[in-house]
């Protein structure tokens, strides 16, 4: 069975004039997509290998950053290759198995991303608010356990949700997006999907409440401690927290846009803008995370320069 991506605009007569423009520029879009994908692979790979190869970076903050980069690569590999191929096709299609695989990748990526950001906020809270106990509270063994729990729990929870989708018989084959997601496939079903919708809404609300609440709590405590501390302490705390805050706000904005766009389908927004908003969660975080951390954290910058310099000499 093959599913069609709705990029031929047949379901919307107002979008038909845009098809010629999209078709004419598809090679430009392909080049931009390929360039973005290569930048994501390179930048995230550099961060990961820099942390692995330098013992001085074997600290919780950098290990969590590596986990974030690994998750970004995972999400990008689940999205970019098929998206690139679809840009080259006259009528983009995907097999049912391929669609289910992409669904699993993009949803587990999204869940792990926001959960990792929540755990990283807690790590910054412990580091700044309990500096003397930090090494006891967050040894490397605990860090690896937390990362494993993040991935395992998200995979198990979404697998339950995923099993509800697999059982559905489908009566349609046109997906109203440029990639497969669970809600789009559920909408193709010809049976009652109340259980899927309720469970999906529960998972979405759980992620969008528990993790932001943990992040907000952590930063409230950090702000309270900084307010009572010296100027140098506040500057150091700001330096270590800024990359995480930027990453967190960027991703939460992306996921909120996606939820609102998907659930309410605002037709007054231009089609191109809706496409950009629907894919930015898979493009912007993996692209910006290593750049934000690499530019802001001095230790990462120095080790990256050392790594690239060594490779240049060896080459």
pLDDT band at 315 (very low <50, low <70, confident <90, very high): very low
pLDDT in tens, 177-204: 778 888 888 888 888 888 888 888 888 8
Domain containing 91 equals 2-314
Residue 224 has pLDDT above 90, yes or no: no
230 vs 89: CA distance, rounded Å:
60
**Mean pLDDT along residues 234-251:** 77
pLDDT in tens, 22-41: 555 677 878 888 898 999 99
More confident residue, 165 or 88: 165
pLDDT of residue 269: 65
Residues in the chain: 315
CATH code assigned at 68: 1.20.1070.10
Residue 8 has pLDDT above 90, yes or no: no
For the chain, the maximum distance between any two Cα atoms, rounded to a whole number of angstroms, is: 64
Neighbours of 294 (CB within 10 A): 18
**Mean pLDDT along residues 110-128:** 91
61 vs 19: CA distance, rounded Å:
46
Residue 112 has pLDDT above 90, yes or no: yes
Q: Give the lowest-confidence range in 131-135, 139-143, 306-310.
A: 306-310
Residue 113 has pLDDT above 50, yes or no: yes
239 vs 124: CA distance, rounded Å:
11
Residue 14 has pLDDT above 70, yes or no: no
**Mean pLDDT along residues 36-54:** 90
Structure tokens at 94: 């995907």
pLDDT of residue 19: 34
What percent of the chain lies above the pLDDT cut of 90? Answer: 21
- How confident is the prediction for the chain on average, in pLDDT? 80
304 vs 310: CA distance, rounded Å:
10
Residue 3 has pLDDT above 60, yes or no: no
pLDDT band at 83 (very low <50, low <70, confident <90, very high): confident
Domain count, the chain: 1
* DSSP conformation letters of the chain: -EEEES-S-TT-GGGHHHHHHHHHTHHHHHHHHHHHHHHHHHHHHHHHHHHHH-GGG-SHHHHHHHHHHHHHHHHHHHHHHHHHHHHH-SS-EEEHHHHHHHHHHHHHHHHHHHHHHHHHHHHHHHHHH-TTTHHHHS-HHHHHHHHHHHHHHHHHHHHHHHHHHHT--B---EESSSS--HHHHHTTBSS--HHHHHHHHHHHHHHHHHHHHHHHHHHHHHHHHHHTS-HHHHHHHHHHHHHHHHHHHHHHHHHHHHHHHHHH--TTS-HHHHHHHHHHHHHHHHHHHHHHHHHH-HHHHHHHHHHHHHHHHH-
């Amino acid at each position: 069975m093959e599913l069609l991506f709705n990029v031929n605009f047949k379901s919307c007569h107002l979008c038909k004039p845009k098809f010629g423009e999209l078709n004419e520029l598809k090679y430009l879009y392909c080049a931009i997509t390929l360039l973005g994908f290569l930048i994501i692979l390179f930048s995230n790979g550099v961060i990961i290998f820099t942390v692995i190869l330098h013992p001085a970076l074997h600290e919780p903050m950098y290990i969590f950053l590596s986990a974030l980069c690994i998750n970004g690569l995972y999400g990008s590999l689940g999205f970019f290759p098929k998206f690139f191929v679809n840009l080259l096709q006259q009528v983009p299609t995907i097999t049912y198995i391929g669609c289910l695989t992409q669904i699993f990748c993009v949803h587990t990526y999204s869940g792990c991303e926001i959960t990792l950001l929540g755990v990283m906020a807690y790590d910054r809270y412990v580091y700044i608010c309990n500096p003397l106990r930090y090494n006891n509270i967050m040894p490397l063994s605990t860090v690896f356990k937390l990362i494993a729990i993040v991935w395992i729990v998200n995979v198990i929870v979404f697998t339950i949700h995923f099993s509800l989708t697999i059982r559905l018989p489908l009566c349609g084959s046109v997906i109203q997006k440029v990639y497969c997601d669970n809600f789009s496939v559920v909408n193709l079903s010809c049976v009652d999907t109340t259980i899927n919708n309720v469970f999906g809404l529960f998972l979405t609300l759980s992620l969008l409440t528990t993790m932001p609440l943990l992040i907000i709590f952590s930063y409230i405590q950090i702000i309270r401690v900084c307010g009572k501390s010296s100027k140098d302490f506040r500057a150091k705390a700001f330096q270590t927290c800024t990359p995480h805050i930027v990453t967190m706000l960027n991703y939460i904005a992306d996921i909120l846009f996606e939820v609102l766009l998907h659930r309410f389908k605002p037709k007054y927004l231009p089609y191109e803008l809706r496409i950009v908003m629907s894919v930015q969660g898979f493009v912007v975080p993996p692209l910006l995370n290593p750049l934000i951390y690499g530019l802001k954290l001095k230790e990462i910058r120095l080790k990256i320069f050392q790594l690239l310099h060594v490779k240049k000499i060896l080459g």
